[in-house]
Amino acid sequence: LEKRELETVSDLNMYVHYVEELVGDALTSIVKETDNYALSPKRGKALAKILQITNITKNTRDDFNARADYPDSRILFLPRVFYAPLTPADLFYSDSEEAKSARKNVFEGLKKIAGKSIPLAASYVLSIPNDRLSGYKALCLGSLIPALENWKLMGRVGPEAVFKGIENALKIDRESWFRNIIGFIREIISNKKADSFLREYIKSQKSYSFESGNNENNYESWSPQWLNK
């Protein structure tokens, strides 16, 4: 923070460690103290890291706008190595091919960082026992799936929409996707199919859309097989 900007991926990882990974570590410790059940702190941190990188990516434009009045302050949470030699203003405002390439590079860089944590994050949720810690399992599953659905959405709309900050292109709709996700998680926790679903979902995310309607692999087409008792 004293450097007033993030220059490298290591800087970003350090920032994420302090603002989010330690939250995952703390939640794991709370489970140990209150429920006497030991979960992996390393895996808990991986889940927290995905959530933070997802928030950084989908809020990129909002963060830039919030700091527009303070040009000398730390600009965003984007490692400068992803878009150098451009300035932050060029990154957001320029229509040059160089700027478009830089925006794509930033997006792909953040996506790669988040993606590396998916296996450990999923294994953390899988390690939470459904019988003893169903509420905590639902909480973690209800955090991981929306984050991954957000990445699917942002991947479809592309870096240009992400950097323009078009809200419906960045955040899953709370009236449809989020409602479907939370309702679905409640049921698969109840019928003890959460682990089998998560394994299948991680292997083939494109086969599972939580959107309702006529879109490919819509929620209504595949969810019944998992909701049956």
Q: Report the pLDDT value the prediction gives residue 1, as an integer from 0 to 100.
A: 57
Q: Which residue has the tokens 């998992």?
A: 226
Least confident interval from 51-60, 194-203, 220-229: 220-229
Measured torsion, CA atoms of residues 17, 20, 22, 25, in degrees rounded to the nearest 10? -120
pLDDT digits (tens, 9 = 90+) for 160-170: 999 999 887 78
- Mean pLDDT value across residues 188-207: 95
Q: What is the pLDDT of residues 198-228, one digit of tens each?
A: 999 999 999 999 988 777 788 999 999 999 7
CA-to-CA distance for 43 and 40, rounded, in angstroms?
5
Q: Using CA atoms of 91, 96, 101, 104 in order, give the dihedral in degrees to the nearest 10.
A: 50
Q: What is the pLDDT of residue 3?
A: 61
